[in-house]
Amino acid sequence: MLEVSDLTAGYGEAVALRGVDLQVRDGTTVSLVGSNGAGKSTLVKALMGMQPVSGGTVRLDGEDITHRAASDRPRLGMALVPEGRRLFKDMTVRDNLLLGVHHPAARKRSAGALESVYELFPVLRKRSRQLAGTMSGGEQQMVALGRALISRPRLLILDEPSLGLAPIIVEQVFETLARVTAEGVTVLLAEQNMRRALELSDHGYVLADGQIVLDASGAELLKSDSVRTAYLGDA
């Protein structure tokens, strides 16, 4: 489904991605692990059109989308759960969720999906009129997930969904993610919580210093010692 080849990106002089190759097959869950600053967020932003790309291509089902505007992503069936959740804090939960179907194409796909989000997270139905910024971290993550899922994406990209959350909430996030993948949604998960991410994944990529240094099935990477070394940056 998603095919990234030789992708480079940077912030001015600083290069953040150096020729990244990556594939996500239809219906699979792929993890992108690596330490803080390895380039995970830059890669995610580049895939979403939120970060200028200096070289290489991003293809979705064979179509070159490297330089498509970010606002075109919903039409392509892509949705993002951004790092730090980034909710619209002064808006109600309901308005946050409905912005997930702002794009006409997303709205068309998702008829009645607000109900399905409420079924997935019943607490959000009760809190639908609460301002998103006044909720707990875990509840905010539910809104962020709901805002992405409401558009019924084909490819769901998550950037550090467990960051800053209590362990019990992290567990809930991964359980929800398992349910989403079971429904056939293709998932790309950028996560520092390597063990939990790889357990859930069909395939994993280890990113260090803007490059893919390892690439194997989730189970293999879990067993491999070299992951740990790559992770710590002294491979």
Partner 1 sequence: MNRWLGPSLRRHLLMILAGTAVTITLVPTIGSSYALAFGFQFVIWTALALSWSLFSGNSGYASFGHGVFFGIGTYAASAVFRSTDAPFVVALAVAGLAAGALALLLGAAVFSSPRFAGDLFGLVTLAMAFIAVTVVSNVAFLDGGTGVFVREHTSSTWIGSDSRHLFVVGALLAALSAVVALGASTTRWGAALRSIHDDEAVAESLGVPTYRYKVVTFAVSGTLAGLAGAPQAVFLGYVEVGAVFTLNIPLLVIMMTILGGMARWYGPLVGAAVVVILREALTGWASAEMAQIIMGLSLIVVIAVMPRGVSGYLTRTRPAARAGQGGAR
Amino acid at 93: V
Q: Is 63 exposed, middle or buried (0-12, 13-18, 19+ CB in 10 A)?
A: exposed
- State which residue, 40 or 103, has the beta carbon closest to partner 1: 103
User: Rounded distance, CA 24 to CA 8, Å?
Assistant: 18
Looking at 15, 99, 120, 235, which residue binds partner 1 (CB under 8 A)? 99
Distances (CA, A) of 9 to 97, 189, 231: 31, 19, 21
Looking at 25, 64, 71, 232, which residue binds partner 1 (CB under 8 A)? 71
| Positive or negative torsion for Cα 185, 85, 19, 64 | positive
Interaction between residue 127 and partner 1 (CB under 8 A): no
User: Rounded distance, CA 141 to CA 128, Å?
Assistant: 14
Residues 6+ apart with CB under 8 A from 8: 15, 17, 18, 19, 20, 53, 54, 55, 56
CB of 83 to partner 1, least distance (A): 10
CB of 80 to partner 1, least distance (A): 5
CB of 102 to partner 1, least distance (A): 5
- Candidate segments 1-9, 21-29, 48-56, 226-234, binder of partner 1 by CB under 8 A: 48-56
- Candidate segments 35-43, 60-68, 86-94, 161-169, binder of partner 1 by CB under 8 A: 86-94
Interaction between residue 232 and partner 1 (CB under 8 A): no
Looking at 25, 26, 55, 86, which residue binds partner 1 (CB under 8 A)? 86
Looking at 46, 58, 65, 73, which residue binds partner 1 (CB under 8 A)? 73
Interaction between residue 88 and partner 1 (CB under 8 A): yes
CB of 184 to partner 1, least distance (A): 22
User: Rounded distance, CA 149 to CA 145, Å?
Assistant: 6
- State which residue, 91 or 235, has the beta carbon closest to partner 1: 91
Interaction between residue 105 and partner 1 (CB under 8 A): yes
CB of 42 to partner 1, least distance (A): 13
Interaction between residue 40 and partner 1 (CB under 8 A): no
Interaction between residue 145 and partner 1 (CB under 8 A): no
The full DSSP string for 86-99 is: ---TTSBHHHHHHH
User: Rounded distance, CA 108 to CA 103, Å?
Assistant: 9
Tokens 């899922």 -> residue? 149
Two structure tokens written together for 223: 């067993």
Interface positions with partner 1 (CB under 8 A): 48-50, 69-75, 80, 82, 86-91, 94-95, 98-100, 102-103, 105-106, 129, 147
